[in-house]
Amino acid sequence: MRPPIKPMPPRKSQYGIAPELVKKRVADMPGITSLLVSELFPDSPKVVFPGDRGIEAVRAATEAALEKVDMSMIKPNQSVNVLTSHHGFTLVGGEPFAEMLRTIRDVVARRTGCENIRLRAGVGLRFRETEEYIKRFRLDEHYKGKASGIAPIDEGIPIETEIGTLYGIKRAYDADWIIHAHNSDVREVHFHRQVDKVVKPFGMSYARIETRSTYHHNMGPRAANFTARAIFDSPFVQDKFAFTSFLVASPSGVVGVDADNNLYALNDRLTAAGCAFYGKIMTLLGQIDECIAVLDFPCPVPYVFAAGVIYANFAGANVDLFDLDNALPAYTWYTEAFYGKGGPLVEEVPPVNPAIKMCVHNYAWGGYPSAFFAEHIPTVVVGREQADLMNRDPQNLTYMNFATIADGTDAAMRFARAVTGTDKIIIFDGAAGGINVSESLAGLLVARAPEIGRRVDQYLLPRWLEQRGMDISVLKNLKTA
Amino acid sequence: MKVVTMYPEVNRDKCTGCRTCERVCPVLAIKVVDKKATVDMSRCRGCAACEQRCPVYALAMVKRDDPFTVQVKVRDEMLPRIKEICARARINPEYIVCYCTATRAEEVVAAILEGAATPEEISLATGVRTGCKVECIQPVLRLLEAAGIKPARPEGGWQWYGRTITAFEIPQAVKAKFSKRGFYFDEDIKLLDKVAKATPTKEGAE
């Protein structure tokens, strides 16, 4: 069996415990092996990062993608906001995403003569998070002091759309031009269902609370994505939009960079790519019959990931997340909101993935409402410090009401094995290009992968794309390795 | 229901009196007085919005010596009005409005029935909008509207701007134009309506 993939190291952040308090990683324990996505699915796309050329490959891919983009609308005396958000900074360690952002600035300055280029980085529910990344990846220096975080409670600006007034963050739009810079990983596919994935940040990362609340409460789990499209289509945003650049992600790593003046053309390519690249691994993980899920990554509980798939996706993997005929995945905030006091209010609400017999929270952050996970999945938190972290987090004041504490990683894993009776372990620790699992689970996944690959190619992928009004042929224009 | 365990401590040397904290506080508990941020401990719900947005990092969240719980009890005599207002808003009384505090629509309406007439007063009474600060403003505004209340925004504040569209109000032309692109408008309307009309569970009737 392969040795485990080195997990992403703990990070210093106000949203997590101090890195030195993470005494042991579960990937280092006996009986843990790893599976590469490219071995499970030999037709996985080639990656540019990680790779022999290191981070230079990302710079080269960004420069090549931007070559075909028209930047003539940007004049030397004007201002440009490069809009982005937090998610890319945890992808394969974050450096590839940071390098794409650096390269965008360099290319725009070189080609247009414009120097007033600002980085405006949106956040999820941890309002200082992008400020931490700006510092960590020295983006403030690269953007010559013009890099800052923007949050959904900052001053707003009304945006008139074809579905009425929605609200953006004023500082996202306080420039003559905007450049939309993101990554295409599908970690929160349970929310966006790979519908308008590339457009979504206009309804989230650059949007005020009113708009985000519209998405999560007013529209329904499959209609909600239209909120972002309405904002992007507004004359206000169209008058400022210059172009877009995306780091193209896959479960194996960074596949390339794609850029376009036409956001919807890119949207089609990356929507299809998302279904094609991630559909197999997500469907395969849905085959797991029983397991202990381990969180071991510097991110909030639902966002910890491995092989490009987050824990929240896995909590919903008992349902086909891409199939829009399923009204709801097993976990989204819509699902959560539909749980009445005595259980789901309607029969369309599926249960949380019953394969997860227990969750060992070895290392994960607060800063995202996560009590639902502890309430629905027996959870063991390693160490008093992490319990205290959750107890002082205004978004998680009841998380520990449902979870228990173990003194150390060994004790937590021993307890989980004894209580669940399973030795199948899946670890969400940011392993790049693959996933760390116990040998018993590796056997199951290797055995099932070929059939899952066939089923996705022949039946599921065409169905997913048809539901989104597109054809696999759009992939031929994708700029990848 | 919200357990209030923290409060912001102001570093007066760092505070520049910029009023950002005042503008983002969902319960109007922090104000700039004599060019320095000042916290009203009785109003503060420990959400950390001020600490998270202070541009000079002048605030730190610390543990309260006297943690307390805010909650509006849903009384039996309120139930008919709660059902009526929730039905008008097309929200089930047991619908979870705030994921951080697991506050249900019925408690928000109970707060309204007890006199809360703005999102700030509802947050003060129930704790909604004092967790993540982001996701729950729309159901709060919809329930106020359904109760016949048009709240005034805090003057000069960024607490909230306005109610936005619901799925039930999407123009037919928009639905027709985009339904083939994966936006399941009519199917989701059907689902939302079914949830809104679902009979409260046994526990919910308590």
Which among A166, A216, A328 has the least Cβ separation from residue B135?
A: A216
Q: With CB atoms and an 8 Å threshold, state whether B96 touches A468.
A: no
Letter for the amino acid at A17?
Answer: I
Determine the residue among B2, B181, B189 to mutate to test chain A binding: the one whose Cβ has the most chain A Cβ atoms within 10 Å: B181
Are the CB atoms for B51 and B2 separated by under 8 Å? no
Q: What average pLDDT does the structure give for chain A? A: 96
Residues A323-335 pLDDT 10s = 999 999 999 999 9
pLDDT along chain B (206 residues), means of 10: 96 98 98 98 98 98 96 97 98 97 97 98 98 97 98 97 98 93 95 94 50
Residues listed for chain B = 206
Pairing of strands B36-39, B30-33: antiparallel
Determine the residue among B79, B104, B184 to mutate to test chain A binding: the one whose Cβ has the most chain A Cβ atoms within 10 Å: B184
pTM beyond 0.95: the answer is: yes
Which among A125, A210, A340 has the least Cβ separation from residue B162?
A: A210
The pLDDT value given to residue B205: 39
Average pLDDT over residues A47-73: 97
CA angle centred on B5, ends A361 and A301, rounded to 5°: 20
Residues A422-481 pLDDT 10s = 999 999 999 989 999 999 999 999 999 999 999 999 999 999 999 999 888 888 888 877
The pLDDT value given to residue A1: 84
Q: With CB atoms and an 8 Å threshold, state whether A369 touches B99.
A: yes
Q: With CB atoms and an 8 Å threshold, state whether A394 touches B6.
A: yes
Residues A203-228 pLDDT 10s = 999 999 999 999 999 999 999 999 99
Which among A223, A336, A342 has the least Cβ separation from residue B188?
A: A223
Q: With CB atoms and an 8 Å threshold, state whether B138 touches A333.
A: no
Closest among B32, B108, B34 to B70, alpha carbons compared: B108
Average pLDDT over residues A366-391: 97
A190 pLDDT band, cuts 50/70/90, is: confident
Confirm whether the ipTM is greater than 0.90. Answer: yes
Residue A161: pLDDT over 70: yes
Q: With CB atoms and an 8 Å threshold, state whether B204 touches A340.
A: yes
Residues A261-310 pLDDT 10s = 999 999 999 999 999 999 999 999 999 999 999 999 999 999 999 999 99
The pLDDT value given to residue A471: 86
Residues A383-399 pLDDT 10s = 999 999 999 999 999 99
Q: With CB atoms and an 8 Å threshold, state whether A218 touches B187.
A: no
Are the CB atoms for A361 and A301 separated by under 8 Å? yes
Determine the residue among B4, B189, B191, B194 to mutate to test chain A binding: the one whose Cβ has the most chain A Cβ atoms within 10 Å: B191
Residue with tokens 């392993």: A431
Q: Within the 258-277 window of chain A, which residues sit less than 8 Å (CB to CB) from chain B?
A: none
Residue A80: pLDDT over 60: yes
The pLDDT value given to residue B203: 54
